[in-house]
Structure 1
């Protein structure tokens, strides 16, 4: 059994491409931020059954040192698994786009608007509502809110009729230099989560950002312009990122601006 005292000591590039790269229970704001800077994100067990399943499936690999334990000694390391898929799904901000049909709906009849960081915790809790498995635990949400207060975590909100209207979609995640790692998104109207991601790409590009990390591959990601890159390439990009990037614009903006021909495909 191997134990890494910190994320900087973990060679994530040697980990298996399709399983957890580590186990450990440190969901503190500092621990989460260090993990994202190493190209790793957490997936807390939603219940005792999932925690026990982690132990049953992966205990041998942990004992053999193929999957390390990260952080301080813990009585229950299997409560949180940590992941860094290979390949990694990403969205280059310059290529993130809406479909032609959604862009047409925005131009013609959807009075939606977007904002940044106006309702961070509400977006996180909307992303958690009704989700199975329930990986957005109370402990993780508390740390994400603290990271938001510190300027590392951000949300985009989609409003049906200005900021005084209904919140109908959103996305949130953590910024590391020129990379923004998206944790989750939600929608209450068809297309609202895609508008949130496209808006995030536009704001992040304006701040000097380069990549949106989608963490998990899906048709939804490819519809928006997502591609797969080798984990080594993704981690190299993270290591080359400097600082926390420039502040993204927070103003409430019309969503139809995202439906211009250069951004709709």
Structure 2
């Protein structure tokens, strides 16, 4: 959950009415300000506003009882798909998963269930969730409009884990993950990486730095570099959001697929 407590008077933060455009990302609060990367407050979470925000590398993140807060951090955490680190234990997990008939990856099969599970997940160091009910409904509408997607790990016909993301063209923005079974979220992330590699997507936005993402190959890049990537990628033809088991070859090229 986002915490905004200021020891001194913070710099003026733009308040957005529903008809207002987003400020330029370069005007977001800097490293010496109380909340680096904070760009604006207010506005709306409808499909048009969300698409406009992501098109300029901006995303909403706020907690219960707060107004909508919009962020454009610098640097930006991304996962270059060519640098994804498939550590030995995860490789073994994927090899087993890929060869089991009761294991499968589904895309956009249970989006509402995925985002709801992400919202209810307890996270270390957080007293609540930033995926408030308004966000769940907003991203569900974004999914219905074709701009938000879920990648899901299914085991024995049950949803075991997954993630959801936003996509504009071939600009892919990761949002959140959950797991009900060991490594189920990592399997879903691996599937997203394989899907992106197949379609020529160069990186997945991770928004903010975490040790978990860094362990898997995520790294920070300058906001200007990230925005240049978004501008190029969002104008490219969109991905086909479906997972073919052959996509595992991008990560496990020496493993024969199951019959």
| TM-score in same-fold range (> 0.5) | yes
C-alpha separation in 2, matches of 1:180 and 1:28:
19
C-alpha separation in 1, matches of 2:55 and 2:228:
11
- 1:44 corresponds to: 62
1:185 to partner: Cα distance: 0.5
Q: 1:119 aligns with which of 110, 126, 151?
A: 110
Q: 2:84 aligns with which of 96, 106, 109?
A: 96
Matched, 1:140 2:158: no
Consecutive unaligned residues in structure 2, runs of 5 or more: 1-11, 31-35
1:3 to partner: Cα distance: 5.4
Alignment of 1:152-231 (within 5 A): 152-161=147-156, 165-231=157-223
C-alpha separation in 2, matches of 1:251 and 1:261:
16
Q: Is the 8 A contact 2:114 2:162 kept in 1?
A: yes
RMSD of aligned residue pairs (Cα, Å): 2.5
1:3-26 Cα distance to aligned partner (Å, 9 max, x none): 56212xx22123224241111141
C-alpha separation in 2, matches of 1:100 and 1:248:
29
**Higher helix residue share:** 1
Q: Is the 8 A contact 2:108 2:149 kept in 1?
A: yes
Of structures 1 and 2, the one with the larger relative CO (CA 8 A, separation 6+) is: 1
Q: 1:144 to 1:95 in 2, by over 3 A?
A: same
1:28-78 Cα distance to aligned partner (Å, 9 max, x none): 11111111111111013213xxx3xxxxxxxxxxxxxxxxxxxxxxxxxxx
SS of aligned partner of 1:33 = helix
SS of aligned partner of 1:214 = strand
C-alpha separation in 2, matches of 1:137 and 1:116:
23
1:246 to partner: Cα distance: 2.8
C-alpha separation in 2, matches of 1:25 and 1:3:
8
Consecutive unaligned residues in structure 1, runs of 5 or more: 52-78
Matched, 1:12 2:25: yes
Q: Is the 8 A contact 2:81 2:204 kept in 1?
A: yes
Q: 1:81 to 1:3 in 2, by over 3 A?
A: closer
C-alpha separation in 2, matches of 1:236 and 1:134:
31
Give the TM-score of the pair, scaled to structure 1.
0.77
Q: 2:72 aligns with which of 68, 84, 91?
A: 84
